[in-house]
A and B are shown apart, each in its own frame.
Chain A
Amino acid sequence: MSNVNSFPTSAKLLHWISAVLIICMLFIGVTMIQSLAVWQNSAIKLHQSFGLLVLILVFLRLTNRFFIKTPDFPSDLTYLQSLAAKSTQILLYALMIALPISGLLMRNAAGLPVSFFGAFDLPILVAEGIKTYSLYREMHGLIAWSLFGVIVLHISAALHHGLIRQDSVLPSMLFKFRSRK
């Protein structure tokens, strides 16, 4: 049992930066694959760079978890509820890691590197091949839609905790802007 009821600022910052980035990336992703607009090519390039940034942030968060105390779930949650909460968290992390990696690999399979904001290119990890490309391309789409689905569950649950149950879960990830009592 931990004796904290809130995440530390480091975890909150990482969570909210990732949240904004990932949701923007999902919306830009589904839009740009249809768009014929002049901004489309820049969007694709930024999508690749931000994808790598998100991946770095996920690993930072996982590392950070070793050093921080995380609040426990409220004691009145049923076994099933905490199981659902726990597995959603694990699924979120798994998808957040798999999504940028599938994107990186699909680009590599098309014979192209991923650039990080033009500063450097990541090494090419898989050989060029149209079938490999398809595998990672379709995975990238499926993972993106799955991640969106799990994010919907995640936000719904957070709002349920905050507005209906009114327990400690939602405030544990929110910044307190007013001075503490």
Chain B
Amino acid sequence: MSDNPRNPVNVKKRYALILFVMGIFVFGFLYAAGIFGDPGTTAQKFVNLQQGDKPHYSFRRAHAKGICLQGEFISNGSLAPFSTSEFFQRSTSPFIGRFSTAGANPLAPDLAAPVRSLALSFSSESGQRWRTAMNTPPVLAVRTPDEFYQQLVALTPDPATGKPDGRKVKEFFAAHPESAAFNQWKKDYIPTSSFATEQYHSINAFYLIDSQDNKHAVRWAAVPQADVQPMTSNMATGAPDALQAEAEQRLKHDVIRFDLMVSFANATDDENNATIIWPKERTTINAGTIIIDTVQAQSGGACNGINYDPLVLPTGMKATDDPILKARGSAYAESYRRRARESLLQKKDVGANQ
């Protein structure tokens, strides 16, 4: 108590003790926050690499260029035995989505992008949400976020030439034989003249959860109903927004339709490895039709505020332990945080009026 005799020698030691304890506490917190040393591959490092030296403010750091879309998913109920999700009962769910092209530059020509995507955010009346970000390649080149980071490093253009260093790229893929399926896809892939005639893949696998709480590992793809049309000469001469313009034009005549094709893993498939294509014989169910009826510019569009984080899943679905799938959440969140802050502060750059 306060009337205890105070020993002046002890006081010094005790101050030192307090300082030591609090020092460890503060140091521990700063260390956890990644302020000291090299915290390894983080979401921040990923997004830094994606955005490069000159970030395009207020734009997504990956797939910066895109167009908002709206429509509905008409589920035919055939997935209902495998998932309790409202979205897979016989139902119609509206969505806000986005067609986009890969890259950090919101002004890049549409046809120059090696990858195209379709992202969808479904909502149900009871407040359930499901978000998916699908790409044209069906697989990834590598299995883990660290390797994926190294892949991006290898593919980063050399500032001197403006192109990736061919030797580095070769070395990377030679060191990663698991990239074979991805590279085969890349070799065989022929870009079409429309967002509406591409096939978009979930890439990672997810679990459907049935009413008995059984897990079913699946991947899905949005498979176009429209036939591929040849590139028009207009497009080939390089209108920068060729794909966006084509989508607008197409919607004047008809809606854009995709079948949602869901493939089930069998016991030999590893649902946590997104580098391997599942064989065509796997059970595949047509879950319903994705119908897109409108597109709008992304600036001020309904999709602009949406972070298409594929880990936003409804009741009746779960994420697998695929390390890249699990890493997408925090990388997407970091990109979202940055562009949200720039929107709030109204930071502008050259691409901001696009």
List residues of A whose CB falls within 8 A of some B CB. Answer: 26-27, 30-41, 44, 74, 76, 110-113, 121, 124, 128-131, 133-135, 137-138, 148, 152, 155-156, 159-160, 163-168
Nearest B residue to A75 via CB reads B2
Q: Is the CB of B2 within 8 A of A134?
A: no
B129 contacts which chain A residues (CB < 8 A)? 111-113
Q: Is the CB of A130 within 8 A of B304?
A: yes
A160 to B15, CA, bound (A): 8
Q: Is the CB of B323 within 8 A of A38?
A: yes
Q: Is the CB of B22 within 8 A of A27?
A: no
Q: Is the CB of B319 within 8 A of A168?
A: no
CB A88 to nearest CB in B, in angstroms, measures 15
Interface string of B222-237 (1 = CB under 8 A from A): 0000000000000000
A159 to B14, CA, bound (A): 9
Q: Is B267 an interface residue (CB 8 A)?
A: no
Nearest A residue to B11 via CB reads A164
A62 to B31, CA, bound (A): 33
Q: Is the CB of A110 within 8 A of B39?
A: no
Q: Is B210 an interface residue (CB 8 A)?
A: no
B28 contacts which chain A residues (CB < 8 A)? 27
Cross-interface CB contact of B22 among A36, A129, A156, cutoff 8 Å: A156
B311 contacts which chain A residues (CB < 8 A)? 41
Nearest A residue to B331 via CB reads A36
Cross-interface CB contact of A133 among B17, B34, B305, cutoff 8 Å: B305
B contact residues, range: 35 or more
Nearest A residue to B126 via CB reads A121
Q: Is B76 an interface residue (CB 8 A)?
A: no
Interface-side segment among B49-57, B159-167, B181-189, B333-341 = B333-341
Q: Is the CB of A34 within 8 A of B29?
A: no
Nearest A residue to B39 via CB reads A34
CB B234 to nearest CB in A, in angstroms, measures 34
Q: Is the CB of A26 within 8 A of B18?
A: no
Nearest A residue to B26 via CB reads A152
Q: Given A30-B32, A134-B344, are A37 and B326 also a contact pair (CB < 8 Å)?
A: yes
Q: Given A27-B32, A152-B22, are A124 and B127 also a contact pair (CB < 8 Å)?
A: yes
A134 to B340, CA, bound (A): 5
Main secondary structure of the interface of B (DSSP, over half): helix
Within 8 A of A (CB), among B12-70: 14-15, 17-18, 21-22, 25-26, 28-29, 32-34, 39, 41-44, 46
Nearest B residue to A157 via CB reads B18
Q: Is the CB of A166 within 8 A of B6?
A: yes
Q: Is B306 an interface residue (CB 8 A)?
A: yes
CB B70 to nearest CB in A, in angstroms, measures 14
B340 contacts which chain A residues (CB < 8 A)? 130-131, 133-134, 137
A164 to B9, CA, bound (A): 11
Q: Is the CB of A74 within 8 A of B44?
A: no
Which of A112, A130, A159, A165 is packed against the most chain B CB atoms within 10 Å? A130
Q: Given A110-B336, A121-B127, A130-B305, are A32 and B2 also a contact pair (CB < 8 Å)?
A: no
Nearest A residue to B5 via CB reads A166
A111 to B26, CA, bound (A): 34
Cross-interface CB contact of B344 among A41, A131, A155, A156, cutoff 8 Å: A131
A155 to B24, CA, bound (A): 13
A-B contact pairs, 11 of them (CB 8 A): A33-B43, A33-B334, A35-B42, A36-B327, A36-B331, A39-B326, A112-B312, A128-B305, A134-B341, A155-B25, A159-B22
B121 contacts which chain A residues (CB < 8 A)? 111
A41 contacts which chain B residues (CB < 8 A)? 311, 319, 326, 329
Which of A31, A38, A40, A165 is packed against the most chain B CB atoms within 10 Å? A38
